[in-house]
Structure 1
Amino acid sequence: MAIKLLLHIIAFYMKGFTLSRNYFLWHGVPEWRNKLALKDIVWQSLERSKIFCSYRCLQDQSCVSFFYQSSTRYCQGHSSVFLRLSDASSQDSPDTMYYKIACKGGPSYIYVRGANTCYSVKEKRGSWFTAQADCTSENAWLLDLSNDRISSQLMKKFNEHPDPYFAYFWFWIGLTIQSDGHFIWSHSQQPLNGSDFWLPGQPDNATGSQNCVYMRNHDGRFLWDDIDCSMEFIEFICQSDVV
């Protein structure tokens, strides 16, 4: 009996530790204070605190962000991350705060649960080296798809992006060619071992100096192409770890 009681006590404290640790994964978004989104809701419930609300979201694989109203203990989980206030309801929701997984890159980064990574689409242009430096300044790196799970999850995200204009942009990724002619991911330093994401007939190094890689939409799917690293009309995508 004494051993059983001890195990219950240990389990209770471990749950408290897990709840507290989980809470620090989440970033409250000040701009969304007293706001509430009404789309992509996966569940609604009453939770005793925002810590318990965050724990419920973390336990649900479809949940990546949540709202918590402290005065009513109302908790609302979402399958999307909201970056624009235009997604908020026109009616204010007093005592409400919006939370999303905290990414090392900062609040502009979106957490992808299935890949356990974060990304941020940068709406500015520059050379591959400028893009890399910009990502580095945010404790991030140019998109690295060396991991199969991350690659499939993120490419699926880009192909199904809700903004129809997204398909018209070109984006640098963190893939470059080395002096020996082999492609390598600049962040992980992993070599590229084949890929189904190349555009037809690519890479071809047509100019003899196409040492960097970008992606663009081709027939409804983002695919890769090699190009000169100094081209400055291409936007980019940064990637970061979870806090």
Structure 2
Amino acid sequence: MAIKLLLHTIAFYMKGFTLSRNSFLWHGVPEWRNKLAHGDFLWQSRERSKIICSYRCLQHKSCVSFFYQSSTQYCQGHSSVFLHLSDASSKDSSETVYFKIACKGGPSYIYDRGANTCYSVKEKRGSWFTAQSYCNSENSWLLDLSDDQISSQLMTKFNDHRDPYFAYFWFWIGLTIQSDGRFIWRHSQQPLNGSVYWLPGQPDNATGNQNCVYMRNHGGKFLWDDIDCMTDFIEFICQSDVV
């Protein structure tokens, strides 16, 4: 019996070691301290510690945040990230702390489990260069969709965005054209090898100076278009690594 218990203990910590190698670290969100979301949860359970609660979240393919209440050992996992109290209904809940996977870009970034990357939609406008500079100031970069999994996951998420006004904005992405006429992702330096996301008839370089790419909603889906990099009324999406 003692040997069996020892083997279970070793197995548990080895799983924890494997997860730590994947750089999953948790960021406590102060605004949510002593609050508890009631909607959009994946499960509710009793767990012996925050570490075990976080481990359960990591084991669930859709979980990206959790609440843990030390006084009652209450654990609640979520598929959403709550950035503001207005994002979900809540009530006072003593000794409750809210955690989400930490992103290098900071607490405003959302971790996407399927894409294994972080992103943040910025409600700011400026040229492509202004957008890139802002992202760099947060240890991030303009959205890079060179990886097929990231591209598919995030484009689907943007198309399913719950904010009805989201579809009416334009967003810079990190795709630009080089002097040889090829499109390249600035962060990864990967060339664009065709895409299903271009708007019909695009890119066309209509003015002869359309060297940057943005995306906008067209027929219910976000698609790409080329435009002058100095256009200054476009918002942008930054991307960062997990801590």
Q: Does the pair score TM above 0.5? A: yes
Structure 1 distance, partners of 2:93, 2:4, is 45
Structure 1 distance, partners of 2:12, 2:92, is 37
Deviation of 1:90 after TM superposition, in Å, equals: 4.5
Mapping of 1:128-167 within 5 angstroms?
Answer: 128-167=128-167
Mapping of 1:1-243 within 5 angstroms?
Answer: 10-11=10-11, 13-15=13-15, 17=17, 25-243=25-243
Structure 2 distance, partners of 1:85, 1:128, is 32
Partner amino acid for 1:111?
Y
Structure 2 distance, partners of 1:164, 1:119, is 19
Structure 2 distance, partners of 1:103, 1:16, is 20
Q: Deviations over 1:95-128 (max 9, x none)?
A: 1111100000000000000010000000000000
Normalised TM-score (structure 1): 0.94
User: Quick check: 176-185 or 23-32, which moved more?
Assistant: 23-32
Partner amino acid for 2:156?
K
Moved beyond 2 Å, runs of 4+: 3-24, 87-91
Structure 2 distance, partners of 1:5, 1:139, is 44
Normalised TM-score (structure 2): 0.94
5+ residue gaps, structure 1, are: none
Q: Structure 1 residues 65 and 10 mapped into 2: Cα distance closer, same or farther (>3 Å)?
A: closer
Deviation of 1:16 after TM superposition, in Å, equals: 5.6
Deviation of 1:93 after TM superposition, in Å, equals: 1.1
Q: Does the CA contact (< 8 Å) of 1:104 and 1:139 recur in 2?
A: yes
Q: Structure 1 residues 230 and 23 mapped into 2: Cα distance closer, same or farther (>3 Å)?
A: closer
Deviation of 1:40 after TM superposition, in Å, equals: 1.2
Q: Structure 1 residues 20 and 50 mapped into 2: Cα distance closer, same or farther (>3 Å)?
A: farther
Structure 1 distance, partners of 2:12, 2:147, is 37
Q: Structure 1 residues 22 and 73 mapped into 2: Cα distance closer, same or farther (>3 Å)?
A: farther
Q: Does the CA contact (< 8 Å) of 1:35 and 1:88 recur in 2?
A: no
Give the number of equivalent residue pairs: 243
Structure 1 vs Structure 2: percent identity of aligned residues? 85
Q: Deviations over 1:161-187 (max 9, x none)?
A: 000000000000000000000000000
User: Quick check: 36-45 or 128-137, which moved more?
Assistant: 36-45
Indicate the SS of the match to 1:77. Answer: strand
Q: Does the CA contact (< 8 Å) of 2:41 and 2:77 recur in 1?
A: yes
5+ residue gaps, structure 2, are: none
Partner amino acid for 1:95?
E
RMSD: 2.3
Structure 2 distance, partners of 1:19, 1:27, is 16
